[in-house]
Amino acid sequence: MVAMGAASPPRSRDGGFSQRYPLLMGMICAVVFQRQGRLYYADPGSLTPSVGDHVLYPTEDGAEVAEVVWAPQWVSEDVGGLPELAGLAGSVDLDRAEISRKKRAAARVASRKLIREHDHTAEYAVSRVIRRHVKTLESIEDSRLPKGTDWEVLIVDNNSTDTTSAVCQSFLRRNPERYRYLFEKRQGKSFALNAAVENATGEIIAFTDDDVLVGVDWLFALLIALDEYDCVGVAGRIVPVWNSPKPVWFTVDGPHRLMLAINLGPHR
């Protein structure tokens, strides 16, 4: 299994996150980082971009190029917590974004090649599990967090006998400051989770498994929810992705539903 630890941004003097998400203007716009990708809302600030324009959207790794799909417009209520656009993207920014896109694509190809080289004799079930590791880590890698957020990913290898270690090392080489690899020889989920807790450096720890693809705003939504409701724990919505027909016993309605979190309610 894989346990992830996400460290929170520095807390304000009052012990909350409120100062990191100040109340902004009642005007918003929407952008995407790739065609037909997820929408990201933003405060346009002093900018007035049109649909199709490229702008600079602030992320924890710096401003990244995004395309406007919803021009700035006023909304009927105050909007808080939205990142403010850093400016219009120029030719240098567009060239840099294209280079980054090609590097990410090359990294994904390299990871899949590494799996094939180390797992070419494995049974299909094992091969599928390893590919699942890569997809889980890639989904976490795409997380969007406010600039300045300090976070890390702890990967706990629970005494695996496949090529999990090699796959994890490939991610460590790509970003050694982001990832940490832990080996827990005692098999069992509780041992793996405890190993992550004991080694995490952040105030907030978020757990996920190697069969999960997290949303790009998952970590950000956890931070907001923990601050807004002053609680000790939160959980997000679960959307099943079936690779075979849905079991007849599975239901999200009625008295025999499995979990209230599955495919119900808002994201938070």
Tens-digit pLDDT profile for residues 202-217 = 888 999 888 888 888 8
Instruction: Give the burial class of 65: count Cβ atoms within 10 A of its Cβ; 0-12 exposed, 13-18 middle, 19 or more buried.
Output: buried
Residue 170 has what pLDDT? 86
Q: Is the pLDDT of residue 18 over 70?
A: no
Count: domains in the chain: 3
**Residues 158, 48 share a domain:** no
pTM greater than 0.75 (yes/no): no
- In 198-208, which positions are buried (b, 16+ CB within 10 angstroms) versus exposed (e)? eebeeebbbbb
Q: Say whether both 220 and 104 belong to one domain.
A: yes
- Judge if 28 and 49 occupy the same domain: yes
Examine the domain organization and report whether 207 and 239 are in the same domain. no
**pLDDT tens digit string along 83-126?**
899 999 999 999 988 888 888 778 777 767 765 655 444 443 33
Domain boundary among 54, 76, 92: 92
Q: Give dist(CA 227, CA 81) in Å, integer.
A: 12
State residue 36's pLDDT score. 67
Q: How would you class 118 by CB atoms within 10 Å of its CB: exposed for 0-12, middle for 13-18, buried for 19 or more?
A: middle
Are 241 and 215 within 8 A, CB to CB? no
Q: Rounded to an integer, what distance in angstroms lies between the CA atom of residue 167 and that of residue 63?
A: 29
Please tell me whether residues 106 and 214 are part of one structural domain.
yes
Which of 4-18, 123-137, 244-258 bottoms out in mean pLDDT, i.e. has the lowest? 4-18
pLDDT of residue 117: 59
What percentage of the chain exceeds 70 in pLDDT?
A: 73
pLDDT of residue 201: 87
What pLDDT, in 10s, does the model give residues 231-243?
888 877 777 777 7
Across the chain, mean pLDDT equals: 76
d(CA 137, CA 130): 11
133-172: pLDDT as tens digits = 788 888 888 888 888 888 899 988 888 877 788 888 888 8
pLDDT at 65: 93
- Domain range holding 182? 97-229
Q: Are residues 248 and 170 in the same domain?
A: no
> Mean of the pLDDT values across residues 249-261?
61
Q: What pLDDT is attached to residue 265?
A: 44
User: Is 6 among the domain residues?
Assistant: no
Retrieve residue 121's tokens: 């004799």
pLDDT band at residue 33 using 50, 70 and 90 as cut-offs: confident
Tell me: do 254 and 204 sit in the same domain. no
Confidence of residue 1 (pLDDT cuts 50, 70, 90): very low
Q: State residue 104's pLDDT score.
A: 76
In a domain, 66, yes or no: yes
